[in-house]
Structure 1
Amino acid sequence: MSDDRTIEIEDYTAPAGGWGSMKSLVEISAREKIGPEALRELTRQNKPEGFACVSCAWGKPAHPHAAEFCENGAKATAWELTSYRVTPAFFQEHTVTELLGWKDFDLEQAGRLTHPLKYDAATDKYAACSWDEAFAGIGAKLKTYDPTKVIFYASGRASLETSYMYSLMARMYGSQNLPDSSNMCHETTSVGLKSAIGSAVGTIHLSDYEKCDAIFYFGQNPGVNSPRFLHPLRDCAKRGVEIVVFNPLKERGLEKFQDPQNPLEMVTGKSTPIASQYHQVKTGGDVGALMGMCKYLIEADDRARELNTLRILDHAFLAEHTTGFEKFADVARGTDWATIEHESGLSRVEIESAAKVYAKSKAVIAVYGMGLTQHVGGIDNVHMLVNLMLLRGNIGKPGAGMGPVRGHSNVQGQRTVGITEKPELAPLDKLAEQYGFEPPRELGWDTIASCEAVLEGEAQAFIGLGGNFVRAIPDHARMEPAWRGIDLTVHIATKLNRSHLLPGKTCYLLPCLGRIETDMQGTGPQSVSVEDSFSQIYGSKGKATPAAETLLSEPAILAGIAKATLAPNPKLDWDAWVRDYARIRDAIAETYPDMFSDFNAKMFTPGGFWKGVPAAHREWLTESGKAEINVPHSLNVTGFEESEGRFRLMTLRSNDQFNTTVYGYHDRFRGVKGTRDIVFMNRSDMLRMGLTDGDDVDLVGDAGDNADRRFNKLRVVEYSIPEGCVGAYYPECNLLMPVAHHARESHVPAAKSVPVRIEKTR
């Protein structure tokens, strides 16, 4: 059942997509032993009246391709519809301590969970229990705690309906501790865009890729994290759109793409070049690169003014719609090129060549991912990219705007319907009126605050709605032992993962239906909804046979916990909501009428319906009423100084992975097969340290807090990466990152620039 672990390291020269993708899909389909039903479901994936992919949050077009799924999306479907099962008999054969030694891949590869389970400390095993026993036990425990010390975590896969129920249940219980996947990745976007342009999400539509004439691309890998994005990128490249990429590593999806749905390309082996310029910026050097471009544009505009020629900047837009330009312009003029080159790792010529593309383009999209957000100075990264876009009015017009690419399929949507620890982001007064209770008004715990509470012994209980929280967070060597001190842990999940093997003093593991499966309730089969990266809302209908008759849906599980924990409320009938999810959507529409009016009628609109983003039509909901141009704190966003022997580690996902889910051991695009114990290094760094390709080294945390953080015996792989930077896989390398190493303001773990040292393994 395990994937092939034979280690092979070799250069991969083929494009993204193409036959490599086809072969990968065949391999995982065979390994999961999926049948005709799963293959039928692939034809419904991301289609109107079909189901929304359980993987990434890329948009679902109104007029989809024949196969509107990518390699990783198909892997996610096969992974969920696997033929393997984890029944109570599995846990009779394996103790939790034994399973804790398994790899992430092997745990999830064991199959779908089928029965509710309770951990038995005496035998160190999970044992089956009834749903009623689980709900009663959880409710009895929750009634004894201080609600402000209970954590309600939500993975980004949970639907809008489930997320709304979850946030409401937590607040009715008295907790505002609602950390979620966004805290770990794009909270920097939520904070940075909100403060700069008044809207916390991207401003573009999927159709804007048909109207732009340039794309500036920072720190996002579409070939791995959102492969369906390769189709619009290919179309843009073919019609002459200049795609200027800034990324520390050469990523194949940004170099060339072969469309698996194009017979000519598949037969002839032809592919489409993607990036017109590719700049390998140092990890943590994006502010330097952006400052260099802004400096070039501002000084070129100064010269145009002096010569009375055509201006470079959009001064009418700047005057009407922005504030802070003159202060920023003075800083840009005064920043010397030597500093910019040193901090970015790029030459002046390279930066100016990118700026010249921007200067001549009329409609620019700025794309970015966690390569910008997961730094101590991540807010500066986002603000600087906004600054660049504002200089020529590239926000709030067709074919232009901010295009952050979100990860999990509904990570943006769950925030829309109330999953947030910040009281100002939830309509608390409306909820109080709607349901007749007094919501908590204090700031709750986000992911970092939750980790700190666990370390300090403050957290009394943890409820996990999906995800693999303990594996996704930093500082594993400190967090995992502390986790066992929590009095109650509850996990709602489809498959086994490492978080489930760190039980609290009382622990329940509750298996749920997957989104692709038929969800039959009292009024018939139910549908759910999600929101994509473009703020479009879609309906999703599962039709696959459930993995087991004993599974409950996420709404049904939440209702069971709520009824066992909360006092009856005459304004809320949990059972009625479970019988008919349309009632939940009616409740969402009542709470958020501006975004969700006629929710049930619109949810299956082809291409989705737009919730609305004020900045997309130049309505700036900032303190000044205008878009804010900000001066960065520093050109170095890593949060630590350079020193002899210190490297900047960026954590990476492989081609065979989505977030903490590892589908296999083949990082095809980087030429690595059979292992994840790899560190990618620059040749010059290797020579300086006396290392050769294939040597074993240890990565040692270098945060300066005297904690011992070490990842032993990683194989060195020579790779195209800037000097002083190294790359290694997430989530394994999270153990090298302190909890305190996070973005200012947004508190996102700074996983893209972790201070480490390298020692040769003895």
Structure 2
Amino acid sequence: MTKHKSDDHGPAQAQITDYEGPAGGWGSMKGMAAILPKEKLDPLDMANLLRRQNKTDGFQCVSCAWSKPAHPHPVEFCENGAKATAWEATGYRTSPEWLETHPVTALRDLSDYELEQHGRLTHPVRYDPATDTYRTTTWDAAFAEIGAELRRIKARDPKRAVFYSSGRASLETSYMYQLMARMYGCNNLPDSSNMCHETTGVALKKTIGEAVGTTRLDDFEHADAILFFGQNVGSNSPRMLHPLRTAVKRGCKVVTFNPLKERGLERFADPQNPLDMALGTSTPISTQYHQVKTGGDIAVLMGMCKWLIEADDAAGGKAGGSTFLDHDFLAEHTTGYEALAERARGTSWEAIEAASGLPRVDIIAAARVYAEAKAVMAVYGMGLTQHVRGTENVDMLVNLLLLRGNFGKPGAGICPVRGHSNVQGQRTVGIGHKPEHAPLDILAAQYGFKPPREEGLDTTTACEGILAGEVDAFIQLGGNFVRAIPDTYRMEAVWQSLSLTVHVATKLNRSHLLPGKIAYVLPCIGRTERDDQATGPQTVSIEDSTSCIHASIGTRKAPDGDLMSEPAIVGRLAKEILDPNPKLDWDAWVGDYRLIRTAIEATFPEKFRDYEARMHVPGGLDKGNAVRGRKWLTESGKAQIQLPTGLDSTGFADTPETLRLMTLRSNDQFNTTIYGYDDRFRGISGSRQVVLMNPEDIERLGLAADQIVGLETIYDDGHDRSVLGLRIVPYEVPIGCIGAYYPECNPLIPLKHHDIESQTLAAKSVPVRVVA
């Protein structure tokens, strides 16, 4: 990890304590209070803003994608949601004058936190190589040059341009963006799903016929048990703790499998419960907490399946006569059960224990809870998806649910927890590199053009294309792509060879400091802010993790300057790079977002029926899911049980020096955005330059607590990858596994180290060694 010259948060500044408090409670209140002076915000103004967050008549959180309840709490935001809103509403500005006096090469010495802390961008800027600075320009000049360069590239080959999107853009913007790219002539639409939950889409589409989760918020009211795999609810989706706490209070059992003890899944104090706050009490969340070895989830799931199948065998194993399996459901709704049963019976407990890092008795204890529950939900995050065999992790979780018919009934189903607030929604309206991600025949008839039919570039193949010199232009709708991707040093070294880079953003970030030969940063208004267009103030819409779509209404005044809305930027760019189309009026769409929603409904009539009215209904527009009605949109017409290739999902063999690195987020962070240096739940503050290690591994490798070390990737592809300057922190983590922060450790992840089926980066199990 390179120490930035101006960064005073190096490993020596790390303060390590034992945090004894719960998730939520006064710790959360203090965390929210600390952000106000840090962002130069008026407390009353911020209170009025937060009052509208995640409300039916308010704006949808710019942070995570957790579900928005029909009957919200008086305070319907969490600590990180408040930080995200404050981050956008900040009183600081990155002015044109500041940019013109700070060379880009000097800005690279700033840490991620320091860079974004300079505040909101206020004017469109163009990189000037003569002065090595960004200089103010006009929107007309920017669009003219960007348009001319993209037309030049299109004449050569439209597939040499990439149109990336993060998960924050609205449904309206995303629909316009994917349509523009396809009309331009390519399906090069990588998005942040490629880096996190593409694995989910591939696995669920194959196994149950729907590429998204099947549960809704009210399923928490009916579940008898909830299984958690690889998901840190306390930091990544804290508002889920409210329905989780309620479920536990009524007797629902929570069984957690995660390499680290995460406080939100241990205990939670509800900040909106006067008793919890007054007495300092909290609710235990997990009935069982099992620290599985990173990459060991397939083994755990196989063990649970094995116990159920063998217990069913012993009980007679027939329809209507077993309490362990739902034979009627398996016969009517699934294929592949016998193959799974044979594999489970033939897999030894010794192999399962070795691969999972858990004793047989713990796996059986979890299986018993599952067997005794009539309705079970399975909740998971990137702890399952970001492995070389991550798709097999999700396959096995689906298999476990199918064994007892845990789909298509209240309180049951699978719940992948998405990251960015509209990352699932943008895929719904066509963002995606595969032709099947959009209804191309409908789009062709609707707009009178021939959509490209070949598969485009995803995140991994886009990076490979840039390394190979096969990509000329990279358009980035939000996000911090170069910081989020793997193989950071290799990618940074070639990024400026691009002929065109364009970033639509609210703040300066590290991706902007690697300008192409022509480079623009275009400032947009934020989701909390009033969006006035030709027909008046506009509303956008957002899809949450549970496939419900909500209106989002911004009312706050945008920063003074020269900003445009995201739909306006996309619409103007489309006019510059595409020929006029009699079936499409980009100006009309920008003037009235209702026309965009009418177009979306015409493209996706089943999902967006009565779109305009239903997105304002409390709880949102439920776009539907066939699996909830036990309809399987698969090749066989049934849910398809899949067999894993092995018990380990890491994709590499262990050696005495190999450690399994899992990259982590702190609770003072959302994706690549760093809000501060306080990872309160893990007791780490002052620095992010740490590595969490089991004390036995520290001793075995001849190391010491607080020692400054580096990590080096063990990967046979000819590239040296190392991150230096990490302080060893003894931590309760499985033997052979270590944890360190994302994105600082992304240089350790090879571009080729990704899920076999989805190409999602395998950031939760990277083979590394410690170098002193």
TM-score (norm 2): 0.97
* Alignment-derived partner of residue 708 in structure 2: 696
Q: Distance in 2 between matches of 1:85 and 1:425?
A: 38
Where 1:188 maps in the other structure, the secondary structure is helix
Contact 1:247 1:279 in 2 (8 A): yes
| Aligned mate of 2:145, from 137, 143, 150 | 137
SS in 1 for 2:745: helix
Amino acid at match of 2:442: K
**How many Å separate the matches in 2 of 1:329 and 1:160?**
43
| 1:621 and 2:629 correspond | no
* Structure 1 position 616, deviation (Å): 1.5
1:294 equivalent in structure 2 = 305
Deviations 1:441-480 (A, max 9, x none): 1000000000100110110100000000000000011000
Q: Does 1:367 align with 2:374?
A: no
Deviation for aligned residue 1:93: 2.0
CA distance, structure 1, for counterparts of residue 558 and residue 737 of structure 2: 46
Show CA shifts across 1:285-334 (max 9, x none): 00000000000000000000079964410000000000000011000000
Partner SS, residue 403 of structure 1: strand
* Alignment partners' CA distance in 1, 2:323 and 2:554: 54
Matched, 1:33 2:46: no
Shift of 1:2: 9.2
Counterpart residue number, 1:49: 57
The whole-number CA distance in structure 2 between the counterparts of 1:472 and 1:618 is 37
Residue 7 of structure 1 aligns with which residue?
A: 14
Cα distance in 2 for residues equivalent to 1:695 and 1:16: 30
Q: Show the counterpart of 2:532.
A: 520
Would you say 1:149 and 2:168 are equivalent positions? no
How many Å separate the matches in 1 of 2:8 and 2:735? 33
The counterpart of 1:82, out of the listed 86, 90, 100, is 90
Q: Report the Cα distance in structure 1 between the residues aligned to 2:490 and 2:738, rounded to whole angstroms.
A: 24
Mark the CA change 1:543 to 1:718 in structure 2 (over 3 Å): closer, same or farther. Answer: same
Alpha-carbon offset, residue 759 of structure 1:
1.4
- Note if 1:428 corresponds to 2:440: yes
C-alpha distance in structure 2 between counterparts of 1:194 and 1:29, whole Å: 43
The 1:306–1:208 alpha-carbon spacing in structure 2 relative to 1, beyond 3 Å, is: closer
Partner residue of 1:21?
Answer: 28
Q: Secondary structure at the match of 2:194?
A: helix
CA–CA distance in structure 2, aligned partners of residues 579 and 482 of structure 1: 39
Q: Tell whether the 8 Å contact from 2:123 to 2:561 is kept in structure 1 after alignment.
A: no
Separation (CA, whole Å) in 1 of partners of 2:14 and 2:687: 6
Task: Tell me by how many angstroms 1:549 deviates.
Answer: 3.9
- CA distance, structure 2, for counterparts of residue 735 and residue 509 of structure 1: 25
* Superposed displacement of residue 691, structure 1: 1.8
Deviation at 1:425, TM superposition (A): 2.2
The alignment partner of 1:758 has SS state of: strand
Aligned residue runs from structure 1 range 575-724, under 5 A: 575-724=587-736
Change (3 A) 1:226 1:722: same
Counterpart CA distance in 2 for 1:657 and 1:693 is 25
Q: CA deviation at 1:100?
A: 1.0
Q: CA deviation at 1:673?
A: 0.5
1:386 aligns with 2:368: no
2:255 match: secondary structure: strand
Q: How many residues align?
A: 760
Contact 2:208/2:633, CA 8 A, preserved across alignment: yes
| Corresponding residue of 1:211 | 222
SS at the partner of 1:594?
Answer: coil
Query: Kindly, what percent of the aligned residue pairs are identical?
Result: 62
* Alpha-carbon distance in structure 2 between the residues aligned to 1:453 and 1:392: 45
The correspondence of residues 103-142 of structure 1 with structure 2, limited to 5 A, is: 103-142=111-150
Which residue in 2 is equivalent to 1:504? 516
1:305 is aligned to 2:316: yes
Contact residue 595 and residue 612 of structure 1 kept, 8 A = yes
2:262 to 215, 234, 251: 251
Deviation sequence 1:412-446 (CA, Å, 0-9, x none): 00000000110022111111111111111100000
CA change 1:171–1:266 in 2 (3 A) is same
Amino acid at match of 2:639: A
Residue 767 of structure 2: SS of its match in structure 1?
strand
Q: What residue is the counterpart of 1:481 in the other structure?
A: 493
CA shift, 1:240, in A, is 1.2
Paired with 2:450 and 2:763, the residues of 1 have a C-alpha distance of 38
Is the 2:431–2:437 contact (alpha carbons within 8 Å) kept by the matching residues of 1? no
Q: Which residue of 1 aligns with 2:453?
A: 441
Runs of 4+ in 1 over 4 A off after TM superposition: 1-6, 306-309
Contact 2:7 2:111 (8 Å CA) reproduced:
no
**Which residue of 230, 246, 270 maps to 1:235?**
246
Secondary structure at 1:229's aligned position in 2? helix
CA distance in 1, matches of 2:526, 2:46: 13
Equivalence for 1:283: 294
For residue 59 of structure 1, the aligned residue among 42, 57, 67 is: 67
* Partner-residue secondary structure (3-state), 1:74: helix
Task: Tell whether the 8 Å contact from 2:173 to 2:567 is kept in structure 1 after alignment.
Answer: yes
How far, CA to CA, are the matches of 2:100 and 2:543 in structure 1?
A: 40
2:262 corresponds to which letter in structure 1? Answer: E
d(CA) in 1 for partners of 2:411, 2:546 = 13
Note the alpha carbon deviations across 1:680-723, whole angstroms, 9 max, x for none. 00011011112222111110011122311010110000011000
SS state of the match for residue 502, structure 2?
strand
- Structure 2: tracts of 5 or more residues without a match: 1-5
Q: Which amino acid aligns with 2:736?
A: G
| Partner amino acid, structure 2, of 1:649 | L
Which one-letter code corresponds to 2:631 in the other structure?
E
Instruction: Structure 1 unaligned segments of length 5 or more: list them.
Output: none
Deviations 1:524-566 (A, max 9, x none): 1100001011100100000011012411000111111111111
In structure 2, the residue corresponding to 1:593 is in which secondary structure?
coil
Distance 2:579 2:85 in 1: 39
Change (3 A) 1:240 1:134: same
1:616 partner amino acid: R
Are 2:558 and 1:546 aligned?
Answer: yes
In structure 1, how many angstroms separate the alpha carbons of the residues matched to 2:131 and 2:468? Answer: 28
Give the drift of 1:639: 0.8
CA RMSD, 1 decimal:
1.2
CA offsets 1:378-409 (integer angstroms, 9 cap, x no match):
01000000000000000111110001100000
Q: Residue 258 of structure 1 contacts residue 270 of structure 1 at CA under 8 Å; is this kept in 2?
A: yes
2:7–2:110 CA contact under 8 A, matched in 1: no
> Which of 184, 187, 207 is the equivalent residue of 1:176?
187
Secondary structure in 1 matching 2:411: coil
Q: TM-score normalized by structure 1?
A: 0.99
For the residue of structure 2 that corresponds to 1:143, the secondary structure is helix
Q: Give the Cα–Cα distance (whole angstroms) in 2 for the partners of residues 265 and 597 of structure 1.
A: 43
